[in-house]
Chains A and B, each alone.
Chain A
Amino acid sequence: MNGVWEWFAWLNQAHGINLPVFYDSYDRQRFFAGLLTTLELSALSVVASVVIGLIGAWLLGTSSIIARRLVHGYVHAFRNTPPLIQLSFLYFAVGNLLPRLEGVGGSSRPLLDGFAWAVITLSLFGGSFNVEIFRSGIEAVPASTIEAAESLGFGRWRLYRHVVLPLALRICLPALSNNLVNLVKTSTLAYAIGVPELLYVSAQVWSDTMNVREMMNLLLVAYVGIVGVLSFGLRRLETALRVPGLGTVGGRI
């Protein structure tokens, strides 16, 4: 491994392409910690936002008017406001109203740190879109299919679980993929509340070494990689879930 790091030191000396995040052990440690933070942040918010979307879309289909109003209110609040403002509001305003934990040497710790708030905000932001995406899928399930299931004696929950959701998921998967890819890219906003993710650590590195161009390119490559893996996985899921006669895969008819 040392040989690889030394090659980057040579690249800097010979060609002036300065990537200290590979040859300087301190920069390397913080850059890869930042990469890990971005991966954790993305994974947690992708999963949580899908769960929020499923629950929200289910609640929209219930007969309780209160539940429907609440979901509508949530979707309007989080879909129609900028995520950067949500993040600042939740972290600086709401976060400071919560009870506190005891810290070392007479200090106190906030109940939730910046990372936790970033996961919460991104999940709620992504989830608000997911509610609408799942709703579009659910509404596209033909009424005749639902009637057929009902006549076979399916109850409300079993109907949702075994007929509506499996079909809806297949219909809305392309839209869901778009939103989840967007969510991963939105995770860079967490730099605003001091979460040491990729953009944050890269900015600190380029401030120390003045290698903006190299770091920008590295950031680009890193995000193309992360998003590439996610969209590859979603595409595989779409293929695996394919039901002959329902919809298309990857635009093929």
Chain B
Amino acid sequence: MLSRIAASLLFLLLTITTALAGVDDIKAIQAKGVLVVGVKADYRPWGFIDPSGAFVGMEIDMANEIAKRLGVRLEMVPVTTANRIEFLRQGRIDLILATMSDTPARRQAATVIDPPYYAGGTNILARKSMNFHRWQDLRGRRVCGLQGAYYNRPVAENWGAIIVAFPGVPEAYIDLLAGNCDAFVQDSSLIASTLVSDSAKWADFEMPMETFGEQAWVMAVSAANRDGTFATFLSRLSVEWHRTGHLIELEKNWGIPPSPFLKTMHEKS
């Protein structure tokens, strides 16, 4: 009992000192023996839940790899677009790996890891019979979205769409398939992957607009650990993944249509 108290006191001291120094956060993670990663649970095929109830997906594979390299257990926490940064701020998770686009506001609130591991723009999924061609066509139309997504505002502000945002992707899909929304505004990578993954269900649908605002997808750690070892480690890992073509391989494994971003990054490195 006494030794356990001593051990936890020592651990506490260790955490405090590392927090003060703000450098060796990898050591802190290894000391607690577990890496807590915030992942998506409804974003097939990047992060979703398979029929057995386990988290699977391209980002889950990446999270597993990170935990393996650190030699710790991986714990995954499902997050949403609207709450992931807050989870990180409060220290509930060590790392965001949840389809997060890079924006200036997010760069302030968290430590964004460069280089990005993926990229996608904004487009819509809509029935072919809607005959959408230009973003202006969305004026006054009911467009489903995802709560907290950064592109909801420009689409509503610039083109006058009426955004009806849901907490998760499945709810928006139900509304779109039922015809309650005329379109679903989303990341172009997700739409492309949806269209090929379940082609029978989406046979009447298309991605008709010109993709705008290509944004990089980034991992992020706490803003306090900007100069920490964990951020450096992740940054090096991301470079390595691009160089070895590991990300392209994962993309292929998960049936995602090849992204021009990954190809360029691989060729550059």
A interface, CB within 8 angstroms of B: 26, 88, 92, 95-96, 100, 103-110, 114, 191-194, 196, 200, 203-204, 206-210, 212
Contacts and interface: CB of A to CB of B under 8 A. Distances in A.
Interface of B: 81-82, 85-86, 89, 105-106, 108-109, 127, 129-131, 140-142, 144, 147-150, 152-153, 157, 164-167, 171, 174-175, 178-180, 182
**9 shortest interchain CB distances as A-B pairs:** A207-B148, A194-B164, A210-B109, A96-B178, A203-B82, A110-B180, A210-B105, A107-B182, A207-B82
Given A92-B171, A191-B167, A207-B82, A106 B152 contact: no
Contacts of A103: 182
B86 A212 contact: yes
B61 to A, nearest CB: 27
A105 B130 contact: yes
A92 B180 CA distance: 10
A204 B148 contact: yes
B148 to A, nearest CB: 4
B82 to A, nearest CB: 5
B153 A26 contact: yes
Nearest to B162: A196
A110 B181 CA distance: 9
B152 A110 contact: no
A203 B147 contact: yes
Contact of A194 (B141, B149, B157, B166): B166
Given A96-B180, A206-B82, 10 more contacts: A104-B140, A105-B130, A105-B141, A106-B129, A108-B179, A193-B166, A194-B171, A207-B147, A208-B105, A212-B89
B122 to A, nearest CB: 14
A196 B162 CA distance: 11
Contact of A208 (B150, B164, B167): B150
A110 B178 contact: yes
A110 B182 CA distance: 11
A98 B216 CA distance: 41
Given A26-B157, A107-B130, A204 B171 contact: no
